[in-house]
Amino acid sequence: MTPETPPTDPDGLPDPVAPLGDRLAGTFRTLAVVVGVSGVALAVGAATEPRQFFHSYLFGYVFALDVALGALFWVLIHHVADAGWSVGLRRVFENVTRAVLPLAALIVPVLVGIYTGNLHQWYDFIHKDPATLHGHEAHIQHVKHVYFSAPFFIGRLALYFAVWVIYSRMMRTWSAGQDAVGGAALTRKMQWWAPSGVALLGLTATFFAFDLVMSLQYTWFSTIFGVYFWAGGIRGSLAAGVLIVLALRAAGHLRHTITVEHLHDAAKLMFGFTVFWAYIAFSQYFLIWYGNMPEETQFYLLRRNGAWYPVSMLLPVLYFVVPFFMLLPRAHKRSPAWLALISVWILVMHAYDLYWQVMPVLHPDTVHLSYLDAAAPVCLFGVVLLATVRGLQRLPLIPVRDARLGESIGYVNETP
């Protein structure tokens, strides 16, 4: 960062970058209709199939939240690295993080599912009379009843969302302020706060995964599960960001500001996190297989039952092998058509992974597909897209007075 660099003149940019305002009004209305219709479907499911509804809702909820938290990671890591090439991409992820606040409110159905006994099995177990439990069950309740008590559990969730909302709002507010005043002061402020944000995001996302996903099997534990959770979210949010950029470019925006050079680097990161996810997934499986302890192997044993076995076997193929080879050629990383296909594939496979984590608890013997399994992710990811579109309507498409914007616009990858 060079503080003496004058702010970029918005009038001198190679593309118009003004907020899209009414130009996205139709898109916003269409998304609102999709969210509304899928929300009605969820309401019907809540009334007719409550257990299925709450598990499907949890699946859709963690999918949407994981993408939003992944976007917050990209905003923070941009400032930690003081990156120049990604300045133009930063605003896209800032807009996606707008979804954190509505998702904080939308966790209420998850809590209702827990405290009505329709979702997490630990609720009834933890509140049993200790005198009725013996041996290992009594020990588990003695160890975990405080951790799962309502005040501590809800207090932790409130803390997680407070961290996420505060950091996402701070970064967006300062970034928008810099659009007006320019200079390096706000950049320094974002860079000062970003490292603590990355650390807190990693911790809170890890414990969120423990509390709402890993605890579906409350006697199981894995210390690497939190990393597994947010590694998928980081990759999924990058895929979502690339798709948003491609959609903007297809509509005629930012074609000379976010170029194939930037998409190439985003694809490299996507490739890297594809390998990282596989490393984490294999590490978790290998250590549990090698240890062969019942309190750990139960997670994988449940997913070897019936139709879940082929689903489990296909997961590493579809979520690692296929995108690995799709992203391997340099030409694919520089092709908008290939990147769109790869990004959609990764997002769908991320949903597949989360479905595999959540649904065997409800249907342990076989895969039981329900319309709610589609309605929940469509509705909740639709909320993420609504928040993103609203951001595109209100702020310039890029940080117009970031001192390193010129470097970003002129960025060129290494020569082949």
Q: What is the pLDDT of residues 9-63, one digit of tens each?
A: 555 788 889 999 999 999 999 999 999 999 999 999 999 999 999 999 999 999 9
**Confidence class for position 415, pLDDT limits 50, 70, 90:** low
Check residue 243 and give its pLDDT. 97
Rounded-to-integer distance, Cα 266 and Cα 239, Å: 9
Q: For residue 243, which amino acid is it? A: L
309 pLDDT more than 80: yes
CA nearest 10: which of 406, 390, 389, 410?
A: 406
125 pLDDT more than 80: no
pTM: 0.93
Q: In this structure, how many other beta carbons lie within 10 angstroms of the beta carbon of residue 331?
A: 8
Mean pLDDT for the stretch of residues 339-359: 97
392 pLDDT more than 90: yes
Sequential DSSP letters for 330-394: HHHHT-HHHHHHHHHHHHHHHHHHHHHHHGGGT-SSS----HHHHHHHHHHHHHHHHHHHHHHHH
**Token pair for residue 165?**
């909302």
Rounded-to-integer distance, Cα 292 and Cα 276, Å: 24
For residue 285, with 0-12 CB atoms within 10 Å meaning exposed, 13-18 middle and 19 or more buried, which class applies?
Answer: middle
242-280 confidence digits (pLDDT tens): 999 999 999 999 999 999 999 999 999 999 999 999 999
Rounded-to-integer distance, Cα 59 and Cα 96, Å: 19
Tokens 């509505």 correspond to: 102
Check residue 119 and give its pLDDT. 84
**Confidence class for position 416, pLDDT limits 50, 70, 90:** low
Tokens 């809800």 correspond to: 154
Number of Cα atoms under 13 Å in the Cβ half of residue 380: 30
Tokens 């407070």 correspond to: 162
**Confidence class for position 121, pLDDT limits 50, 70, 90:** confident
Calculate the average pLDDT of the chain. Answer: 91
**Token pair for residue 189?**
């402020």
Contact indicator for 21, 393 with CB cutoff of 8 Å: yes
Q: In this structure, how many other beta carbons lie within 10 angstroms of the beta carbon of residue 74?
A: 22
Least confident interval from 125-139, 255-269, 345-359: 125-139
Q: For residue 150, which amino acid is it? A: A
Which of the pair, 140 or 69, is modelled with greater confidence? 69
